[in-house]
Structure formats: structure tokens, C-alpha cells
Amino acid sequence: LARRWSKGEKIIADKLGTHPSVIWPSRYFDENGNPIKRSLYK
């Protein structure tokens, strides 16, 4: 995925048996490792 799409990220991660943040860490954590607040579904 080229841009954020929470539902799509979750679908892909579920199929791979992991959490989306494992696949796309920069979308979930900032450069200091702090979680980025965002809703899962819009």
C-alpha cells in the first residue's frame, strides 16, 4: 500500500497472522518509537 488505508492494512496483516504495525512500523510509530494516534477505521 502506498498510502494509509487502515482497513486494508488490517486485512493484509490478519491474513499474514500479524499486526499492521509489524508490516508498516512507520505508519504506527514516530521516529522516537512513540505510537502515532489514529483511528483504525474511518
Sign, Cα dihedral of 15, 18, 20, 22:
negative
pTM of the predicted model as reported, rounded to 2 decimal places: 0.68
Residue entry with cell 502506498: 2
Position 41 scores a pLDDT of 57
Predicted confidence at residue 19, as pLDDT, reads: 95
Which residue range(s) make up the domain with 28?
1-42
The number of distinct structural domains making up the chain is: 1
Nearest Cα neighbor of 5 from 16, 20, 15, 17 is 20
| Integer Cα distance of 32 and 11 in angstroms | 27
Amino acid at 38: R
Q: What CATH number is associated with residue 12? A: 1.10.260.40
pLDDT in tens, the chain (42 residues): 667 788 999 999 999 999 999 999 988 999 999 998 876 555
